[in-house]
Every structure is written in C-alpha cells, then in structure tokens.
Amino acid sequence: MLFGKYVNPYYRKYWYYFVLVFLSDALVDLAQLLVPYLIGNIITKLENKTFVLVGEHWYQSDLTVNLLLIALIAVFIVVGRIGWRYFSAHIGGNIERDMRKAMYEHIQTLSLSYYKDKKVGGLLSYFTNDLMTIKTLFNECIIWMTDLLVLGVLAFTLMFLMSWPITLVTTIPLFAFIGFGYSVGKSETRRFKDANDSYEDLSDFTEENLQGFTVIKAFRKEITRAKTFRSLADETRAKSVDYQRYSTLIDSGINFFLTCTFSIMMGLGAYALLTQSDNPMLAQNLTDVGKLSTFVGYYNSLSWPMIAGGLLIDYISRGRGAYKRIAEIFDQKPDIIDVQNAVDKKIVGDVEYRHLTFSYPDSSAGKVDLKDVSFSCKAGSTIGIIGRTGSGKSTLLSLLDHLYNVPENTIFIDGIDINLWKKSVLREEIGLVSQEAFLFSGPLWKAVSFSENDPEVVDRKKVEESCAFACVDNDIKTQFKDGYETIIGEKGSTVSGGQRQRLSIARAIYKNPQILILDDSLSAVDADTEKKILANIQTYRKGKTTFIIAHRISAIENADCILVMEQGRIIGQGKHDALLKTCSLYRDIYDLQELEKEVNK
C-alpha cells in the first residue's frame, strides 16, 4: 500500500471500509478454495465409480450434492465480489475527494511567491492525473493484498499439505519474480513521476495558449505554437512510453514466471502420479487424478495472488510517483502566518509607512523594489500616487494587506505594526481593485457581491448601488438584455475592458472596506466617467481611507495628498498645487498631459 504523512490519516478515518473489504474478500477467497476440492472429489468418484445413490435416479446422488455446492459457492462469490467492490470504491472515492479538498484548501494558504513559480495548467494536473492514480491504487490494492495474504497463503498451505516437495520446487520462480519486480518497480516509480512532470508542462502550455488565443491569432503564430505543442506532446509521449516499457516488463514477467511454474508443477505432478509407488515422498497425497486435479486447482488459485503481486508492484510504483508530486504541494508552507494573539479588531484607517525598504522574494540579488519609503495619512484621507511605469506604485500598496512579509516596524495601520494584525482582518477591511480586472464567471450580481460571506443572502439593492457608484449601472440596464442576471464569461470575457474595470470597482465598493485601493483602475474609462467615479468617492467614502494609483493627474489632483514615485522612492509628496512648484517630475507629467489635451482638441 501507499504510506506517507499526507495519506496515513485516511487509514484511521476509513478503517471500517478497509475492514469490510478485507472480510468480504477473505470470505470469497475461502469459498474459492472449496471449489478445487469439490471438483477433485467428483473426478475421483467418477474415476472409481463410487458415487452413492440416495434415491432411484442419478441426480439423487452425492454427485448432485457436489454440483449444487459448487453452484451455491459461485453465487456466494458473486455477491461477495459485489460487496468488496462497493466498499473499495468508497475507499478510493473518499480519499480522492478528501485529498482534493485538502490540496485546494492548502494552496489557498500559500503566499503569492508560490504562484509565481507555478502555472495553472500544471497545478490542475496534480488535481486530476495524480489524484486519479492514488484513487485507483486505493480502489484496487487492498483487494490485491487480501488475495495475496489470504488466497495465496492458504492455497500454498493446501498445496504444501498435498505434496510439499512439488510445492517448494514451484515456488522458486515465485521468489525470482519478487526480486525481479522489486528491481523494475523502483525504476518504474521514477519514470512515472517523469511522465507526469512532462504532462504538467504540456498542460501548462495548452492552458496558456487557450487563454492567449486572441494574441496568437493577432500575431499569426498558430503554426509556430502548434510546432511547440507537437514537440512537448512528443516529449510527453516518449516519457510515457518509457514508463510503459517498465510497466510491460512486470506484466510480461508475471506471464513468464507463471508459465514456468505451471510447467514445472504439471511435469512433477504427472511424474509423481505415474511413479507414486517408487517415489512416495514426491507423490505423498497425489494418489489419483482427482487429487492431482485438486492440486492443480489450488495452483490456479495461487496464480491470481502472484498476478496480484505483480499488479501491486506496478500500481504502488505509480502511486509513489503521484504521491511524491502531491507531497511537493503539501510540503510548501505559507510564508505569512499570524503571530500569537494577533490583533483582531475593526480597522479605523490610519496608515503610516516608516523607512520601508523592500524587495520581492524572487527579485535578483541586490535589487531593491522600495527604498526608504515614509509617509502617513489619517483615516478618511484620499491619497493619490503617480509615477513612471515600474516606479513601485503597485508594490507600495500591495504590502498593505500583508500579501508579502515586510520588516517589522515599517508599516503601521492605526498605529499597530502590520505584522501584528490578523491577516483575515486586514483582507476583510482592505478592498483592492487591481490593474488587471478579473471577474469570476456567473451572473453579474454574483460577480459584484463576490465578498458576500453567504451567497444566499446577497443584498440586491446594495449590488445596484455599488454599480451606480462605479457608473456601470446604465450599461447594465441598456446593453445587457438580462440585466443583473447577465452571465459573465470566464475572466469577464463577455464585457468590455471599461465595463470590466467598473464592475471590479463595484465589487470593491459592495465590500465597503475601511481602506480602498484603486490600482490604476480608471485607465480604461473616459474622462467624464472618471470624474463621476471620483466625485462618488469624495461623497460616499467620507471617513474611509482611499488610495488611487493613476497615470493621469486628473484622477488624483483633488486628493488630500499626492505621492510621486521614482525608482522605488518617494521623491515628492503634498497637494497638487504645491507639487507643481516643488517636484520637477510631477510638473513634467502635468505639462505633458496638458499638451496632449491641447493636441487632442
């Protein structure tokens, strides 16, 4: 079976299913071993013509009794097999479901740095291929192990009692196969993992290209991408064939060793029967054709456990490869965890950065993304942030809800170090509208009320008010025939870029956070809509803190304070009029945008 710290708990959780499978399969195995005895008994009586009549007709003999017993045993075996298949299916299905849930819940706790190294297609292969392999392992292996331990041991014992010399000789190929299977199984585990890793790369590529199909068509890269896909597919095929080659070795090895064993047994059995008077030690209880038939029947019963042993090696090798990949996910630990007695109270909205210097975990050595950043704002303030592309604007505010670890005593909310706050409180009280407006598929009202803890009690009036705040309500009424019931495609693909941005703003407003971050979230809306949204912020978010990252000065010129950033530093802060006089970069941006307005006129 498969053992490891991430699967061991399921043996305890579903122990009763394991017991039921073992008992039902063991009873079937015991019943199977009665059949060779009954058949041998029939052959012996037919050979010696010693059937006992209990009536006037032939069917009133003990022959009929033996045949009826075989028929009853057959019915019992069918019912027993249905039973253990039913119980084993529950084991595999329940473990697959529980592991999938545990994996999903675990990856939700991981930090953003983990997802930078992983692609969606690759992660999906863990949830599909690898878990399916483990499910199959648990579905089958408990049955095969029972057959190996019960049917195999009992069949061997009965054969041993009938003729221990022949039995011992026929086990030599069996031990040879065990050594062969162990050697091949180790190599198979490694190759199965390599094949799944290759499939993960193929899934990554496929998922990425399906999402970016519009770009591929625009750049006429269909043929180039198809060639790359074929190359990855060929590599996956080659590694899969390499794995299957070792899997086939085990299957072929089973047939080879079984054939050898059967040939040896039949040869020795026939010889013992013919020379039983000269070789009584070899023949022992093989005194007639019926006994030999029973012996062969026991061997046939033993042959399945030998096959099951080979399948065990094969499937456990696959399971280990899949488990190693799944363990890689569970072994990943979240970078950000709550401290003991973390602060759990409502946020007011005071924010202070105090000499913050920060680098992303995956930044190249020596690179600093934020350098000695300091500023503060009171609750209810509107803070504008502007600067050239790559100056650190988004990085500055992405640290506010503790998505990355930051040095102690550098960021404070309500005068408390951000590292002391409970993560759930920060993320509940901080609303983010990111640069890339991502909407989940489903009815429009569900997309807006995404922050609702109980989807069954969504405030539809609040949804409409949030959409009105973001100036998207008119579009919903006039352009969407189903209104708020309109189904939004994956990632919001069925709405325009401007509508997607405004729906993202509506989603954040529905949450009603104490601190709202608009990360360049007005770039896809026209100037008039921008003014309306900014006016709504001033009117409806009094007493709540709002950060607005923008490239257009018009979006932030009325802010209580404006931060000007350049190469990870704040090179100017203050109100609009003051910055025009004191910050050359701000003045340059302003003059350039004023010139653009004149040109556009």
The domains of the chain are located at 8-331, 351-600
Nearest Cα neighbor of 256 from 310, 193, 293 is 310
Q: Any idea which of 59-68, 327-336, 398-407, 558-567 has the lowest mean pLDDT?
A: 59-68
Q: What is the pLDDT of residues 227-260, one digit of tens each?
A: 888 888 888 888 888 877 777 777 777 777 777 7
Question: HEC string of 380-429?
Answer: CCEEEEEECCCCCHHHHHHCCCCCCCCCCCCEEECCEEHHHECHHHHHHH
Going by pLDDT thresholds of 50, 70 and 90, the confidence category of residue 57 is low
CA distances from 561 to 347, 381, 556, 578 (A): 21, 8, 9, 10
For 445, residues 6+ apart whose C-beta sits below 8 A from its C-beta are 458, 460, 463, 484, 485
pLDDT at 412 (0 to 100): 95
Q: 181 vs 151, 190, 239, CA distance in Å? A: 20, 15, 20
Cα 330 to Cα 37: distance, rounded to the nearest angstrom: 52
The span from the CA of 524 to the CA of 80, in Å, is 66
- Residue 561 phi, psi (nearest 5): -150, 140
**Nearest Cα to Cα of residue 370 among 569, 200, 146:** 569
pLDDT at 59 > cutoff 60:
no
The Cα 511–Cα 537 span in angstroms is 14
Is the pLDDT confidence value at 52 over 70?
no
Backbone angles phi, psi at 574, to 5 degrees: 155, -165
- Report how far residue 347's alpha carbon sits from residue 420's, in angstroms, rounded to the nearest whole number: 13
In whole angstroms, what is the distance from residue 595 CA to residue 583 CA?
Answer: 18
Domains 8-331 and 351-600 agree in fold: no
Residue of 367, 347, 349 lying closest to 357 (CA atoms): 367
- Range of lowest pLDDT (355-369, 407-421, 550-564): 355-369
Residue 56's pLDDT is 61
- pLDDT, tens only, 16-48: 999 999 999 999 999 999 998 888 888 887 777
- pLDDT, position 417: 94
Please report, for residues 100, 214, 242, 244, the alpha-carbon distance to residue 205 in angstroms, rounded to integers and kept in the order given. 23, 15, 22, 24
In the prediction, which pLDDT does 111 show?
79
pLDDT at 356 over 70: yes
pTM, rounded to two decimals = 0.75
- Per the prediction, the chain carries an average pLDDT of 84
Sheet with 515-519: strands ordered across: 430-433, 515-519, 545-549, 382-387, 561-566, 569-574
Q: Of 127-131, 233-237, 264-268, 347-351, give the range with the top mean pLDDT.
A: 347-351
Give the count of beta carbons closer than 10 Å to the beta carbon of residue 232. Answer: 18
CA atoms of 225 and 231, how far apart (whole Å): 10
DSSP readout, 160-225?
HHH-HHHHHHHTHHHHHHHHHHHHHHHHHHHHHHHHHHHHHHHHHHHHHHHHTHHHHHHTT-HHHH
pLDDT in tens, 65-91: 788 888 999 999 999 989 888 999 999
Question: Does 207 score more than 90 pLDDT?
Answer: no
215 pLDDT above the threshold of 80 = no
* β-strands 382-387, 561-566 pairing: parallel
- Pick 252 or 528 by higher pLDDT: 528
Closest among 29, 6, 276, 325 to 166, alpha carbons compared: 276
Residue 482 has a pLDDT of 85
Question: How much is the average pLDDT of 448-461?
Answer: 83
- Residue 321, pLDDT score: 83
491-509 burial: b if 16+ Cβ within 10 Å, else e: ebebbeebbbbbbbbbbbb
Query: Which listed CATH number (1.10.10.410, 3.40.50.720, 1.20.1560.10, 3.30.350.10) goes with 8-331?
Result: 1.20.1560.10
Contact between residue 41 and residue 52 where contact means Cβ atoms under 8 Å apart: no
Indicate whether 580 pLDDT > 80.
yes
pLDDT on residue 51 = 67
Average pLDDT over residues 557-575: 93
* pLDDT of amino acid 217: 73
% of the chain at pLDDT higher than 70: 94
Are 126 and 103 in contact by the 8 Å Cβ rule? The answer is yes
Angle at 335 between CA 332 and CA 340, to 5 degrees: 120
Percentage of the chain lying above the pLDDT 90 cut:
26
Asked if 321 and 196 count as a contact pair (C-beta separation under 8 A), the reply is yes
Indicate the range of 358-367, 480-489, 582-591 predicted with least confidence.
Answer: 358-367
**Calpha distance 565→547 (Å, rounded):** 14
Residues 203-208, mean pLDDT to the nearest whole number: 78
Q: How far apart are CA 352 and CA 416, in angstroms?
A: 9
Q: Which stretch, 291-305, 446-460, 544-558, has highest mean pLDDT?
A: 544-558
- Strands 411-413, 351-358: pairing is antiparallel
How much is the average pLDDT of 192-206? 80
Contact 550, 582 (CB under 8 A): no
Average pLDDT over residues 135-156: 89
- Provide mean pLDDT across the span 511-533: 87
Strand partners for 352: 376, 412
Around 88, how many Cα atoms within 13 Å sit in the side-chain half-sphere?
24
Q: According to the model, what pLDDT value does residue 45 have?
A: 78
CB atoms within 10 A of CB 450: 16
User: Which of 137, 165, 154 lies closest to 275 in space, CA to CA?
Assistant: 165
Residue 435 or 548, more confident: 548
Question: Are 484 and 476 a contacting pair, CB within 8 Å?
Answer: yes
For residue 405, the one-letter residue type is N
Mean pLDDT to the nearest integer, 419-439:
88
The β-bridge partners of 377 are 351
On whether the CB atoms of residues 284 and 163 are closer than 8 A, the answer is: yes
Any idea which of 152-166, 306-320, 338-352 has the lowest mean pLDDT?
306-320
Q: How many residues does the chain have?
A: 601
- Which of 142-151, 265-274, 336-345 bottoms out in mean pLDDT, i.e. has the lowest? 265-274
pLDDT on residue 278: 67
What tens digit of pLDDT does each residue of 483-501 get? 888 888 776 667 787 888 8
Instruction: Over range 471-492, report the average pLDDT.
Output: 84
Query: Residue 62: CA atoms inside 13 Å, Cβ hemisphere, count?
Result: 12
Task: From 158, 457, 411, select the one nearest 302 (Cα to Cα).
Answer: 158
Residue in the structure block whose two tokens are 């027993």 = 80
Q: So what's the pLDDT on residue 17?
A: 92
CATH architecture of 351-600: 3-Layer(aba) Sandwich (3.40)
pLDDT at 162 over 70: yes
Return d(Cα 432, Cα 515) in angstroms, integer. 9
239 touches 191 (CB < 8 A): yes
> Which residues share a beta bridge with 172?
none
Task: Say yes or no to pLDDT of 106 above 80.
Answer: yes
Residues paired with residue 356 on neighbouring β-strands, in sequence order: 373
Does residue 58 surpass a pLDDT of 80?
A: no
For 511, how many CA atoms within 13 A lie in the half-sphere containing its CB?
23
